[in-house]
Amino acid sequence: MKKGISLVCLLFVLLTLTNCKKEDSILKVFVRSASNQLINGAMVVAIGDQQSTPPTGEFVDTAYTNSSGFTTINLGDYFTSSDNTTGYFDIIVKYNLKVGSGYSRCRVHSTSVETIYLEN
């Protein structure tokens, strides 16, 4: 009886461990106007902050917000090529003649969310 229970427990643990999938590393950026409206089509640029502690390696990526006012930037390539498990990124947003900026701390295998407000 004990061997049967042990075997079932072992099988459960093995199935649980083999089904574990690490999450992607994502930076999700919402862009809002000064009046708090979500903006479609804003250009979002994420730049690795090499002056941070610890320094973030070279990284630059550009994306555009969708109709829901956000975009996602996949940081998986950055973390696979770096020994760091944390990265610091400057975020610059441009839409028409308006500009906004922000800063984000991102971790490997997690999603970081930031909201950037455009100037008046």
Tell me, what's the pLDDT at 54?
85
Residue 12, in any domain of the structure: no
Average pLDDT of span 95-113: 95
Residue 2, in any domain of the structure: no
The CA distance from 77 to 57, in Å, is 11
Question: pLDDT category, 6, cuts 50, 70, 90?
Answer: low
The CA distance from 78 to 58, in Å, is 8
- CB atoms near residue 61 (< 10 Å): 16
Q: What is the pTM of this model?
A: 0.79
Residue 1, in any domain of the structure: no
Domain total in the chain: 1
Give the DSSP per-residue string, 18-76. Answer: HT--PPP-EEEEEEE-TTS-B-SS-EEEEEE-TTSSSPP---EEEEE--TTSEEEEE-H
CATH number at residue 104: 2.60.40.1120
Residue 13 has pLDDT above 90, yes or no: no
Residue 1 has pLDDT above 70, yes or no: no
CA dihedral 118, 56, 61, 75 (to 10 degrees): -110
Q: What is the pLDDT of residues 21-52, one digit of tens each?
A: 567 899 999 999 999 999 999 999 999 999 99
Tokens of 1: 């009886």
The larger pLDDT score, comparing residue 84 to residue 14, is at 84
Residue 58, in any domain of the structure: yes
Residue 103, in any domain of the structure: yes
Domain containing residue 32: 23-117
